[in-house]
C-alpha cells in the first residue's frame, strides 16, 4: 500500500472507511503489521507494562520511547508511526518540544500527548514547528493516580460536556488526531461528529473513525490475566499471528469490531 500520511487518514474519515491502529514496539511486529495493512503503528508507553513488567506506564522514559520508535521504524514500510510522550515529558512547553523532537528524530511521524484543554498551547507550538499531534482524552493512564484507577470517563453530563468542548478546543489549537479511551460510546460518537480530524477509539464504541488495541491484548497475551472489556482475542481460531492481525484489520474495516459488548454506556 502507499505510505500512510495524515492526508490519508483524513481522506479515510471523509470516506467513512475505518482506520486501523495497533501498538507496536519492535521491528518484527512492525513488519507483520505492515503486511496485514495496519495503517497506524502506535509506539505506546504501554510498553512499560507489557514489555518492561511495570504496574503502570509511569516509569517509562523518553529514552525508552525513542529506542522503541527507532526499532519500529526499521521494520516499517508504509504505516504512519505515532509515538507517546511519556509521563511528565510534556510538563513544560520546553520539555514538550525537546522530547517531541527526540521521538521525531528517532522515526516517529506524529506524537501523542495525554490530557485535556490545558494541552492547547503545547499542541499549537508543536504544530507550528512541524510536529503533528494526537491528543489522548478520556481515560489517560499517565494520570491514573488522580483518576483513582482505570475508570470510564465522561459518564456524567458535566464531564461529557467538558470533554466535547475540550476536543473542539484541541482541534482548534492544531491537533491532527484525537484518541478517546474508555468513554461512553454515545459520547465518542458525538465527539467524532463534532470535529473534522480523525478520532480513534479504544473502549469508545464503533462510531469513532478508527480503532486501536494493545497488540499483546489482542493476541491473548497478558501478564496479569485481567482482560479489559474492550479487548477481543483475535488469536482465537487463527493459525498464526499474521492471520490474527489481518482478522483485526478486516473486522475493524467491516465495523464488526468492536461490538456493543466491548463498549460502555453513560
Enumerate the domain spans of the chain: 6-262
CB 245 within 8 A of CB 38: yes
Helix, strand, or coil here: 56? coil
The pLDDT assigned to 140 comes to 78
Ramachandran class of 229: left when φ > 0, alpha when ψ lies in -120 to 50, beta otherwise: alpha
Longest dimension (CA), the chain: 49
Helix, strand, or coil here: 9? helix
Could you tell me what percent of the chain has a pLDDT over 70? 96
Instruction: Give the pLDDT band of residue 204 (cuts 50, 70, 90).
Output: very high
- Cell numbers found for residue 166: 475540550
Instruction: Give the pLDDT band of residue 146 (cuts 50, 70, 90).
Output: low
The pLDDT assigned to 206 comes to 97
Instruction: Give the pLDDT band of residue 143 (cuts 50, 70, 90).
Output: low
Q: What is the CATH number of domain 6-262?
A: 3.20.20.60
- Cell numbers found for residue 114: 495525554
What is the DSSP code (8-state) at residue 3?
P
Q: Does 6 score more than 90 pLDDT?
A: yes
- Cell numbers found for residue 245: 492481525
**Of 181, 186, 251, 261, which is the active-site residue?**
181
For residue 63, count other CB atoms closer than 10 A to its CB: 11
The per-residue pLDDT for range 93-142, each reduced to its tens digit, is 999 999 999 999 999 999 999 988 989 999 999 999 999 999 999 987 66
Q: Is 181 a residue of the active site?
A: yes
**Mean confidence (pLDDT) of the chain:** 94
Half-sphere exposure in the Cβ direction for 29 (13 Å, CA): 22
Annotated binding residues for 3-methyl-2-oxobutanoate, as ranges? 45-46, 84, 112
Annotated binding residues for Mg(2+), as ranges? 45, 84, 114
Annotated binding residues, as ranges? 45-46, 84, 112, 114
Amino acid at each position: 500500500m502507499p505510505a500512510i500520511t495524515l492526508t490519508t487518514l483524513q481522506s479515510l474519515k471523509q470516506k467513512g472507511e475505518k482506520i486501523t491502529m495497533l501498538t507496536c514496539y519492535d521491528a518484527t511486529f512492525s513488519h507483520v503489521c505492515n503486511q496485514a495493512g495496519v495503517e497506524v503503528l502506535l509506539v505506546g508507553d504501554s510498553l512499560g507494562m507489557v514489555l518492561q513488567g511495570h504496574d503502570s506506564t509511569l516509569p517509562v522514559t523518553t529514552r525508552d520511547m525513542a529506542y522503541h520508535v527507532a526499532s519500529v521504524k526499521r521494520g516499517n514500510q508504509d504505516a504512519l508511526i505515532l509515538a507517546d510522550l511519556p509521563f511528565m515529558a510534556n510538563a513544560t512547553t520546553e520539555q514538550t518540544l525537546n522530547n517531541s523532537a527526540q521521538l521525531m528524530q528517532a522515526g516517529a511521524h506524529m506524537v501523542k500527548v495525554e490530557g485535556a484543554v490545558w494541552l492547547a498551547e503545547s499542541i499549537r507550538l508543536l504544530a507550528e514547528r512541524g510536529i503533528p499531534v494526537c491528543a489522548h482524552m478520556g481515560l489517560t493512564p499517565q494520570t491514573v493516580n488522580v483518576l483513582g484507577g482505570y475508570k470510564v470517563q465522561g459518564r456524567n453530563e458535566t464531564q461529557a460536556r467538558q470533554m466535547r468542548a475540550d476536543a473542539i478546543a484541541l482541534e482548534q489549537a492544531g491537533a491532527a488526531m484525537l484518541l478517546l479511551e474508555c468513554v461512553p460510546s454515545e459520547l465518542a460518537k458525538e465527539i467524532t461528529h463534532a470535529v473534522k480530524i480523525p478520532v480513534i477509539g479504544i473502549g469508545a464504541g464503533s462510531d469513532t473513525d478508527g480503532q486501536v488495541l494493545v497488540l499483546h491484548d489482542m493476541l491473548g497475551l497478558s501478564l496479569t490475566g485481567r482482560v479489559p472489556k474492550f479487548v477481543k482475542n483475535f488469536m482465537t481460531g487463527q493459525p498464526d499471528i499474521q492471520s490474527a492481525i489481518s482478522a483485526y484489520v478486516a473486522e475493524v474495516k467491516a465495523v464488526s469490531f468492536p461490538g456493543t459488548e466491548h463498549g460502555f454506556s453513560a
